[in-house]
Amino acid sequence: MRPNVVTEARLPTRLHQWWATVPFITSGVIITCGVIYLVCLLVGYDSFYEICFLPSAVVSQFQVYRIYTSALFHGSLLHVLFNMLALVPLGMELERIMGSVRLLYLMLFLATTNSIFHLIIAVVVAGNPLHPLPFLMNQCSIGFSGIIFSMIVIETSLSGVQSRSVFGLFNVPAKWYAWILLVLFQLLASNVSLLGHLCGILSGFAYTYGFFNYLLPGPSVYSAIESFSILSLCVRRPGFILCTGGTTYGQLPTHSSTATMSNGLSSGNLWRNISSWMPQRAASTAQPAQDPRFPGRGRTLGSTGNQSLTPADSDLSLHARLLDNSTNRPLETTTLSTETWLPDARHSTLDTEAVAGLVTTNQGVDIFEEELKKLVAMGFEKTEAEVALAAADGDPSVAIEILMSHQQQG
């Protein structure tokens, strides 16, 4: 009987280990959507008319809350299960690159833009003088899939892969991946919102082409949000990832086996994740000032002495640097209130060590902004420089290497 007991214990252990790899915001969205579905199932709520995205209600009664409530509700177990399984790899990849607060803002932003596109298209088509289609104004849409389609477009653009696998059956060009999924879902599933998925794709492309850049805050805004005392418990969670890279308390577990990665999430593709954003320009000899948080010359992990790295080795080492950015580095403690609520329900004033951690964090944000300005002054685009600097953990030398890699490989 003992071997059977051991075998039965493996599944919960593996599930726990897998769940520990899911970052904070991604796991939070999964839990929220799952709990909402279970509550609706228990109370027998299945009409969804009051919370779905209904263009006629938004226009006539200005019920803008439907923009966000519609994304959190799902109509069936298969609906919520499929959406959350699709969210896991996308959310894990984007949250590790962007940070937890930035990803949360991106999800809210995409939910808003998706609904705006949905509303505009529905109004234009319904008011078309040639062949009006008023039924679009009365379509009730729910589910997180619109945001997922936007994230598919963004992650595919960042990955730089040339092809994607569709359900493991066949490969398609990466630029057509989201569109092919849109057509397949319409053909294979019933009660699928074509307009909702289409608007998700449009929002994703608008984001990747930079049309929303003026609506996206800089890293100082995300760092300021992370410093709020009300969020201190969230920031201290192991899966929380700072917008400047790295977790606040310990190493976020990751799977290093390439056999478990698919659809462009392997080590070699993450380098192309960043380099696909980079401009084509000549190499610059200017060197930015040394960052005190990252002493020593900027070089990729795994290099020794003056040994040169091949592009493949550089791909692997930068991927390890991005995902394992908190290894062999002092923990950054963000404690920004004069009092901290302890687990045993006691209040304790900040000691000198916590104050020192606060000063270090604020200085780190200022240094990040300063290095970003220097990269922009060197001729790089601000968005591309910000992504490269975040991927390099604030190391300006590595950021320049990332920015120049595409030209060097050519």
- When pLDDT is averaged across residues 201-208 and rounded to a whole number, the result is 95
Do 261 and 131 belong together in one domain?
A: no
pLDDT given for residue 129 in this prediction: 82
Tens digit of each residue's pLDDT (9 = 90 or more) over 224-275: 898 888 888 888 888 899 887 544 443 333 333 333 333 434 334 444 444 4
Q: Which domain holds residue 9?
A: 2-214
Closest by CA to 371, choosing from 393, 347, 346, is: 393
Looking at 171, 188, 214, the residue that finishes a domain is 214
Structure confidence at residue 16 as a pLDDT band (50, 70, 90): confident
Do 250 and 153 belong together in one domain?
A: no
Looking at 199, 214, 229, the residue that finishes a domain is 214
pLDDT given for residue 250 in this prediction: 37
Helix, strand, or coil (residue 204) = helix
Q: Could you write out the DSSP letters of every residue in 368-401?
A: HHHHHHHHHHTT--HHHHHHHHHHTTT-HHHHHH
Backbone angles phi, psi at 164, to 5 degrees: -130, 150
Do 240 and 178 belong together in one domain?
A: no
Do 260 and 402 belong together in one domain?
A: yes
Do 80 and 190 belong together in one domain?
A: yes
**pLDDT above 60: residue 218:** yes
Query: Residue 368 burial by CB count (10 A; 0-12/13-18/19+): exposed, middle or buried?
Result: buried
Alpha-carbon Rg of the chain, whole angstroms? 23
Q: How many domains does the structure of the chain reveal?
A: 2
Do 189 and 315 belong together in one domain?
A: no
Looking at 151, 179, 214, the residue that finishes a domain is 214
**pLDDT above 50: residue 307:** no
What CATH number should be reported for the domain holding residue 169? 1.20.1540.10
Tens digit of each residue's pLDDT (9 = 90 or more) over 127-186: 888 888 888 899 999 999 999 999 999 999 988 888 888 888 889 998 899 999 999 999
Least-confidence region, from 34-38, 45-49, 218-222, 330-334: 330-334
Do 134 and 174 belong together in one domain?
A: yes
Show which residues are catalytic: 145, 197
Do 138 and 248 belong together in one domain?
A: no
pTM check: above 0.85: no
pLDDT given for residue 393 in this prediction: 76
Do 116 and 169 belong together in one domain?
A: yes
b/e sequence 32-52, b meaning 16+ C-beta within 10 Å: ebeebbeebeeeeeeebeebb
Tens digit of each residue's pLDDT (9 = 90 or more) over 20-41: 889 999 999 999 999 999 999 9
Higher pLDDT, 234 or 356: 234
CA angle at 137 for the pair 118 and 194, rounded to the nearest 5°: 50
Indicate the angle between helix axes 145-159 and 267-275, nearest 10 degrees: 90
Closest by CA to 322, choosing from 257, 393, 262, 252, is: 393
> In sequence order, which residues have a C-beta less than 8 Å from that of residue 342 and are 6 or more positions away?
348
Q: Which amino acid appears at position 312 of this protein?
A: A
- When pLDDT is averaged across residues 113-140 and rounded to a whole number, the result is 90
Cα separation, 167 vs 213, whole angstroms: 33
- When pLDDT is averaged across residues 343-352 and rounded to a whole number, the result is 42
Structure confidence at residue 299 as a pLDDT band (50, 70, 90): very low
What percentage of the chain exceeds 70 in pLDDT? 67
**Phi-psi sector, 291: left (phi>0), alpha (psi -120 to 50), beta:** beta
Do 222 and 188 belong together in one domain?
A: no
Higher pLDDT, 345 or 367: 367
Do 184 and 240 belong together in one domain?
A: no
Cα separation, 115 vs 127, whole angstroms: 18
CA angle at 266 for the pair 261 and 269, rounded to the nearest 5°: 150
**pLDDT above 50: residue 195:** yes
Cα separation, 1 vs 315, whole angstroms: 48
Do 142 and 288 belong together in one domain?
A: no
